[in-house]
Amino acid sequence: MRFAMIIEYDGTDYSGWQRQKNGISVQQKIEEALEKLFIKKITIVGSGRTDKGVHAEGQVAHFDAETDLSEFKIKGSLNFFLPEDIKIREIKKVADDFHAQFDAKSKIYVFNTYISRVKSPLKSRYYVQIIPPLDIELMRESAKQIVGKHDFSSFSVKNGDTPSTTIRQISRIDIIEKGDTVIFEVEGPGFLYKMVRSIVGTLIWIGRGKLSPDCIERMFSSGDRALGGKTLAANGLVLKRVIYAEAPK
């Protein structure tokens, strides 16, 4: 039988979602907890990778196990075995052909920033500091150029992987002000390596007057990453939700 999990984690102390040789990953910690519960090795499949230092509120993963344990018992037991910075929010039995990665229709990421000339010790773990001034309306207008289907090679960073295509689609970019915080919410079916962090960095550079809004068109036409803004730090990025046609809720 197949189970799907909605997972929340603080990625600060992990090398990312995916198992790897040089570092402790979120996937590794969950698989270790599953092994303690079921007394056998179980591999989980996530909706996608999050990079080192990136957090998640709604990562989704599935695994297969034959058990008489209830979903409630499995969730409670796994959370007992897991560290405090990784927890299973929900778990449910799903169809045997459900696939956390291939069935995903869309993903929502948020990037958290705060505007201040003084660094905030309390926000530094989950927010990126932005030095004012910042033109929010100019950033919103500029973001409209990014929404849609484009070649996003100029909004990504090479990491050794070669994607089959660099064409991606952004469904929406919302920029939300809450006091001194500015939250960027980006939705799309899939993303390139560091793509969201590059998009937000470019919009912020525009908002601070370091770049002209027409840099976005030039980035798309040239594929030149150097024309854009800084790729922002991972700690501000959160995988908020993965959307499915029939999603785990």
CA-only gyration radius of the chain, Å: 19
| CA angle (193 as vertex; 189, 196 as ends), nearest 5 | 65
Among 51, 85, 135, 174, the active-site one is 51
Q: Quick check: 26 and 48 in contact, CB under 8 A? A: no
| SS3 assignment for 175-218 | EEEECCEEEEEEEECCCCCCHHHHHHHHHHHHHCCCCCCCHHHH
What gap in Å lies between CA 130 and CA 110, rounded to an integer? 16
Whats the size of the chain, residue-wise?
249
What gap in Å lies between CA 34 and CA 236, rounded to an integer? 29
Q: Is 51 a catalytic residue?
A: yes
Residues labelled catalytic: 51
